[in-house]
Amino acid sequence: MPFLKLRDGAELFYKDWGNADGEIVTFSHGWPLSSDNWENQMVFLANKGYRVIAHDRRGHGRSTQTWDGNNMETFVDDLEELFKHLQVKDAVMVGHSHGGGEVTHYLGKHGTGRVKKAVLVCAVPPLMVKTASNPDGLDRSVFDGFREAMHKDRAQFFLDIPRGPFFGFNRENAQVSEGQICSWWRQGMATSFKSAFDCIRDFSETDFTEDLKRIDVPVRVLHGDDDQVVPIKISGLKSVKLLQKGTLKVYKGGSHAIHNINVDEVNNDLLEFIRG
């Protein structure tokens, strides 16, 4: 399995699939998952002739479980190291949830020299938590509840999330997939407790407003209007207004995991945007 040794000695696991000479599409996963969460999109695009790259964020999946550095500044610097190593250029970056924050801050900090387009899928920007300047955000007690649940019984909490709001399986008449639930739990439990715990603050309290304003390439925002984890009102609808070249597609009835549930629709939307 391919690993990149980073500047501090940590090893970053990554997948590099498809046509080695094809256009590049990169994927950043959400909390507390791994690159495995993008497998449907990666296989689809690889079969279309693209080179698809995804990594397990440090502390997640198969990457080194570092004690420190579980924050957005470190994550995007790791990603820049990976892009240099793999000679990424003219890429399309795709990020889901916390990974959408990673894409946004990467572009805000490291610029768009390697990237021609980006896609934010049910992503956390611009800011999730409620503050004086962000009164529509979620109360801090929501995220305190996450931390309390992790301390009490992480394994059960990591079953409750996919059985409920993540995939929208708590909605009436939802077609529940035990496979999706098990896959989410497996990925989540492979992430270190410390990383998963620290990242609750990272995805909820990081303000991506200025990053969004700096991005000068086209960005497609995909968001479900029934996202119970990152409500569209505080995220997608705001992000598209801050982006210089942002466009929005709303998935009617879509959950937080549209790329896992509305697989064909998301795949085709990605392909259309990449080709366009």
Read off the DSSP letter of residue 105.
H
Quick one: tokens of 191? 């992430």
Instruction: Give per-residue pLDDT as tens, 71-83.
Output: 999 999 999 999 9
Euclidean distance between CA atoms 140 and 207, whole angstroms: 14
Spatial distance between the Cα atoms of 28 and 47, rounded to a whole number of angstroms:
20
Q: Which pair of structure tokens corresponds to residue 21? A: 């000479």
Tokens at 174, concatenated: 């939802």
What domains are there in the chain, each with its CATH number? 3-275 (3.40.50.1820)
DSSP letter assigned to residue 56: P
Q: What is the pLDDT of residue 1?
A: 67
Write out the catalytic residue numbers.
Answer: 97, 227, 256
As a whole-number percent, the residues of the chain with pLDDT over 70 amount to 100
Please report which confidence band the pLDDT of residue 192 belongs to, taking 50, 70 and 90 as the band edges: very high
Digit-coded pLDDT (tens) for 11-41:
999 999 999 999 999 999 999 999 999 999 9
Is the separation of the CB atoms in 37 and 121 below 8 Å? no
SS3 45: helix
* C-alpha to C-alpha distance for 192 and 52, rounded to whole angstroms: 26
